[in-house]
Amino acid sequence: MMLQYFNIIKGNYLQYVRSYSFLLTIAFSLFIAFNFVPSPNANYTTVSFGGYTGNYTAEWIGFVTAILASTFLSLCGFFLVNGSIKKDIETRIGHIIGTTKVSNLTYIFSKVTSNFLVLLTILFIIFITGIALFFLYGNTYAFNISSFVTPYILIAIPTLFLIANLAVVLEVIFPTKRMLQYGVFLFLFFATLFSAANDKTPIISSDLFGIQYVTSSVANEVQETFNKKDIGLSIGFVSGSRNPEKTFQMSSLSFPSWYVYSRLLWILIAVLASTIASFFFHRFNHKESPRKTILVSEETKHKSADFKLGNLHHDIEMSYSLAPLIQAELLMIIRKNPSYLWILTICGFTSMFFIPLNIAHLYILPILWFLQVTVWSDLVTKDQTFRTHFFTNSSYHPLKRLAISRIIAGLSIAICIALPVLIRYAINLNFSSVLNVILGATFIVLVAVFLGAFTKSKKTFEIAFFFLVYCNINQVKALDYFGGLHHSYSYGFLMTAIVSVLFFLSYLLLYRNKTYGN
């Protein structure tokens, strides 16, 4: 039984680490880990208390990297590990698994463990990078290993275990509704984060991230050191907020027993949730729900196909118009998203006509675009998913016609969603902003095409897009791809250059992948 369990985990994990996306994950992990601890010359903060940041001690670096891993990595990590059951459905391995002796409980926990191992791998990279950064930035201080490691064990690891469970539980509850899984997760994530920030009860709390107590402790320390009251906590990439003069020497964190029990309780809750989910696991039988059964006449059911060619004497006319291709792509896009998502989009779309223009542009537009994430991530990867690549690759001029029509369809959706903002800017004669929004729409669609063609996976774009939206809402200027913070023509020219390069690279990659390349 245990051997069976470990073999499944090993298989899942090896399948992931041998994939191309794992290399990208490592690169991404190194990138975020490096940025978690701003260099002495950097003009941004990731964690600060009333503008105060800690000296580069093992205590501070361990604390910062652990709480950012607990929040930020769990946010991105969910998108990374979510979909492991879906993969078994897509590869049809699920049908084999469904007929084996593997119990639902074993299967669910093997998925949880594999997810957890993937997240731990990233955490390990962050951990190692954190140590490297200590010796790079803080080599004048003594390296206290226990102060560095303890926050990882008590803050980050339990959170990542929860996320590994949550990813599987949501897949079981909404097996074919990926956007719903994302939506529920984001709601839970931000609701919990908000609740944790306002939860002042020091007993077992709603703080599944485990950050409320530790941040309060550090905030108290800052208050005592500088004799100030109501020191506010800031978590996230905040540019221009760093003041090298406002630093403090953080002491080692102490974790009371109730805190440790609280973390253990969250682990138990996660295990319980997965156990309950295993009772409701579809065991790859979800497609046979009655509402999806095809309704055909009895005559059709019992009649075989005639295959009489005598009836097929029609003249064939050639037509190289892109219109029917674009029309079919739009049809697939519209049907792909569930109706509730379109209702949300229509509500957001309508609201953008009435709310202040800068709010519509800065906040509503990127969120409405993000609702289309699964549509755009599918643009060039759907043929692998649906195994239609034989048809597309042998179609007439696949690159000039099919790929272009897909880009146009994706772009049409992006521009349609942005119409209220575009119309209002046009009425205000602010044509540079009109240009920037259109370039932003083109940029995000081309990023989807580029990452899809490069990684042959939709997940990379989904994570990157989420990261972009997060940064956009936090108003990170460097990642303002849709001109929310930049309204000049010069920014439009810069974006035109970026979009052109992206188009050229995407074209090359699609050429490599689609036409006579493999």
List contacts with other proteins (CB under 8 A).
292-297, 299-300, 303-312, 314-321, 324-325, 328, 331-332, 335-336, 382, 386-398, 401-402, 515-518
DSSP string, 85-131: HHHHHHTTHHHHHHTSS--HHHHHHHHHHHHHHHHHHHHHHHHHHHH
**Is the CA virtual torsion 94, 454, 184, 119 positive or negative?**
positive
Residue 322 beta carbon to other proteins: minimum distance, rounded to whole angstroms:
8
Residue 42 beta carbon to other proteins: minimum distance, rounded to whole angstroms:
45
Nearer to other proteins, 246 or 456 (CB): 456
The answer to whether 283 and 108 have CB atoms below 8 angstroms apart is no
Nearer to other proteins, 287 or 477 (CB): 287
Nearer to other proteins, 318 or 429 (CB): 318
Nearer to other proteins, 294 or 429 (CB): 294
Residue 306 beta carbon to other proteins: minimum distance, rounded to whole angstroms:
5
Kindly state the tokens that stand for 164: 């590994």
Say how far apart CA 349 and CA 419 lie, in whole Å: 8
Nearer to other proteins, 221 or 329 (CB): 329
Nearer to other proteins, 200 or 314 (CB): 314
Residue 333 beta carbon to other proteins: minimum distance, rounded to whole angstroms:
9
Nearer to other proteins, 229 or 292 (CB): 292
Question: What's 303's DSSP letter?
Answer: P
SS3 assignment, position 251 = coil
Nearer to other proteins, 41 or 300 (CB): 300
B/e letters for 253-287, b = 16+ CB within 10 Å, e = fewer, are bebeeebeebbeebeeebeebbeebbeebbbbeee
Nearer to other proteins, 267 or 330 (CB): 330
The answer to whether 476 and 362 have CB atoms below 8 angstroms apart is no
Residue 387 beta carbon to other proteins: minimum distance, rounded to whole angstroms:
3
Residue 88 beta carbon to other proteins: minimum distance, rounded to whole angstroms:
16
CA separation, residue 374 to residues 163, 202, 339, 465 (Å): 21, 40, 14, 10
Say how far apart CA 175 and CA 394 lie, in whole Å: 33
Element (H, E) at 45: strand 44-49
Nearer to other proteins, 103 or 384 (CB): 384
Nearer to other proteins, 3 or 305 (CB): 305
Residue 332 beta carbon to other proteins: minimum distance, rounded to whole angstroms:
5
Nearer to other proteins, 1 or 316 (CB): 316
User: What's the start-to-end Cα distance of the chain, in Å?
Assistant: 41
Element (H, E) at 48: strand 44-49
157 Cβ neighbours under 8 A, 6+ residues apart: 120, 123
Residue 382 beta carbon to other proteins: minimum distance, rounded to whole angstroms:
7
Residue 97 beta carbon to other proteins: minimum distance, rounded to whole angstroms:
19
Diameter over CA atoms, the chain: 94
* Strands 44-49 and 53-54, sheet pairing: unpaired
Q: Angle at the Cα of 493 (from 491 to 499), degrees rounded to 5?
A: 100
The answer to whether 422 and 353 have CB atoms below 8 angstroms apart is no
Residue 18 beta carbon to other proteins: minimum distance, rounded to whole angstroms:
16
SS3 assignment, position 47 = strand
- Angle formed by the axes of helices 257-280 and 157-173, nearest 10°: 20
Say how far apart CA 385 and CA 130 lie, in whole Å: 38
The answer for 356, left when phi > 0, alpha when psi is -120 to 50, beta otherwise, is: beta
Residue 95 beta carbon to other proteins: minimum distance, rounded to whole angstroms:
12
The answer to whether 142 and 167 have CB atoms below 8 angstroms apart is no
Residue 229 beta carbon to other proteins: minimum distance, rounded to whole angstroms:
58
The answer to whether 495 and 483 have CB atoms below 8 angstroms apart is yes
